Amino acid sequence: MDVRLRVPGCISHYLCGLEVNAGREVEIGAIVFEPGASLVGWVEAGRGHRLSPAVRVEIAPQANPESAPSAPPSRWTALRSTAVVTERGFFHFQGVAPGTYRLIATQPDGPPSRPFVVSVVQASEVMLERPLILDTWANVEVQVIPAQSPEGEPWRLELRDVDVGRSVFETVARTIADEGGRARLERLTPGEFTLRVSGSRGEAVHSAPLVVEPGEGFFEVRLGLVEVKGSVTLGKKPLAATVWFGGQQGSVRVKAIADEKGKFVTFLPRSGEWIVEVIGEGVGVRRRFQAVDVGGPGARARTVDLVIPATWIRGEVVQENGARATGALVTVTGHGGFEHTVQLRAEGGEFEVWGLDPGPVMIRAQEREADSDWVPRVLRDDGEPAEVRLHLRRKTTLAGRVVTAGRPVPGAALAAWSASAPAAVPDAFARTGPDGLFELRVPASAREVMVTVEAAGLARRMLRLPAASAETPIEVPVTVGGATLVVQFERPPEPKDPIFSGYLVVHNGVVEDYCGLEAWARRHGAAVDGSARVAILALEDGTYTLCRGGVGEYAALAAGIVLPDRCRSVFLPPGGEVVVSPP
């Protein structure tokens, strides 16, 4: 018999495998209850596998020392711990400090479990929602058809996984296919990954989910390659450039080189519409085309002409002392939205940008510790430059502490951006240290910043904070649990951009692209890709507004302007569930 002894606010005691006989007392000795939190869960073996007596479960803070350099390394070491697993797979961590942790089960004769992120609250007991699974190693053979790239080079394969809690991809295995297009990936942890197939130049022509089962597996990837011929011109002049179909940072992208006559030939893994980015050679041309049609299904060859306006911005970035700022990041945002946003380095303190649509733009420069104000300019399609000089100023440090029930929350992730910026792009990121403290370096010109706070097991917060530094850290409370907002679309959304979704969410005066909430839902196991109904768990209560729109609508909503024809609002009660659809 297993027995749990629990006193509220104290560390639990578990007596596993206790022998109990009818009519006889069981002596368990003195039990002392000490204040603190417990973390308990189970480890299970996959089908046909057995747990080794040497199985252990390890926990470590979800954050790391680099994210909070003011905290001594000993504080982080003290938050790491290992627990023994019983024969039946039970484990128990006692006296766990409040915070967000990453758990993983290990075994000497097989792969570790997939990681699990959980938050521990002061004086509570937290039980994992699902067990940690240990299984045998997996091996996968992949056949790519056609066997080689159009250039006659072998395919390169990567198996990628989402880092739990950070929503970034990390490569868990990579290899190069043989002449027959066959590749083998070995010693894998079973689970769902993303398989990426690339050519010799690093362009990704395939990216799709791949479920890896224990033992031996076989998968076939068929690429329906489409030949595309095209040209690039700047105004009426041919432009030598690099052309990225799918975008330079897209999950599926193909690189083409336009020669000095502006001509290029490439092969794409599918027909239809593509995001296309053009980066000019020798000039500051960085142009993004949001939807370039390369033909319908079954199309063989297609000609694509990319015509870039002859607009020109020429600028200089200087520091507070008047010296040129070498290597500052310059952002230019046009009136058309994300597809007209360009970022580049001001090498030597100077920069040039060509090819944005005529009309108004906003320009800003940033360094790690300084940034400039947004400066407006109007572009003309006549080859005459729009001149700009950007003055950097030291950023403001916004210091605070994330707490729950008055206790610090280590490992919470924060993102902040200026409420007056022309685009919903975070200016700063931070993670709280062991004491729950954080520092956000926000623009010097910002009066208010919009902030999101995320910690596993706690409700996601969205709030506005004053940007001015205070004598004492701002306290940001978060709560346990949260409510569920269900977003219902008419059909599964098909964003043409991997970052900008076309939908905005407003809550507590904060305007955020919907993809932020979608990423939060994904970390909670929600079915997001290809789904018209997405349940977003663990949100703080209050009014949420879902809007259609982009950069222009974002600026209006951030200024408090109501857009009834583009938005729909619902009230999310504490612990409740509400459905909202875009208008």
Whether 401 and 390 map to the same domain: the answer is no
Contacts 24+ apart (CB under 8 A), 374-377: 374/420, 374/421, 374/422, 374/445, 377/313
**Residue 565: what are its φ and ψ, rounded to 5°?**
-80, -10
pLDDT greater than 80 at residue 197: yes
Whether 339 and 288 map to the same domain: the answer is no
Whether 356 and 422 map to the same domain: the answer is no
CATH number at residue 145: 2.60.40.1120
In whole angstroms, give the CA distance from residue 382 to residue 277: 22
Whether 410 and 471 map to the same domain: the answer is yes
Whether 510 and 429 map to the same domain: the answer is no
Residue identified by tokens 């690189």 is: 255
Whether 245 and 316 map to the same domain: the answer is no
Whether 510 and 424 map to the same domain: the answer is no
Domain finish residue from 394, 429, 444: 394
Whether 572 and 488 map to the same domain: the answer is yes
Nearest to residue 45, comparing CAs of 88, 83, 91, 103?
88
pLDDT over 70 for what percent of the chain? 90
* pLDDT tens-place string over residues 135-152: 999 999 999 999 998 888
**Residue 551: what are its φ and ψ, rounded to 5°?**
-65, -45
* pLDDT tens-place string over residues 41-98: 999 998 878 898 999 999 988 765 444 545 555 666 667 889 999 988 999 999 888 7
Rg (CA), the chain: 27
Domain finish residue from 364, 394, 424: 394
Q: What's the pTM value of the predicted model, to 2 decimals?
A: 0.69
Domains identified in the chain, total number? 6
Whether 49 and 108 map to the same domain: the answer is yes
Whether 88 and 168 map to the same domain: the answer is no
Q: How many CB atoms lie within 10 A of CB 14?
A: 17
What is residue 251's predicted lDDT score, i.e. its pLDDT?
80
Residue 498 pLDDT level (bands cut at 50, 70, 90) = very low
* pLDDT tens-place string over residues 394-405: 998 899 999 988
CATH number at residue 265: 2.60.40.10
Nearest to residue 239, comparing CAs of 275, 265, 256, 263?
263
Whether 496 and 401 map to the same domain: the answer is no
Domain finish residue from 175, 201, 222: 222
Instruction: Give the chain's count of helices (H) and strands (E).
Output: 3, 49
In whole angstroms, give the CA distance from residue 292 to residue 274: 5
Whether 371 and 456 map to the same domain: the answer is no
For residue 375, the enclosing domain spans 312-394
CATH number at residue 499: 2.60.40
Residue 552 pLDDT level (bands cut at 50, 70, 90) = confident
* pLDDT tens-place string over residues 442-492: 888 888 899 999 987 789 999 999 887 667 789 999 998 899 999 998 877
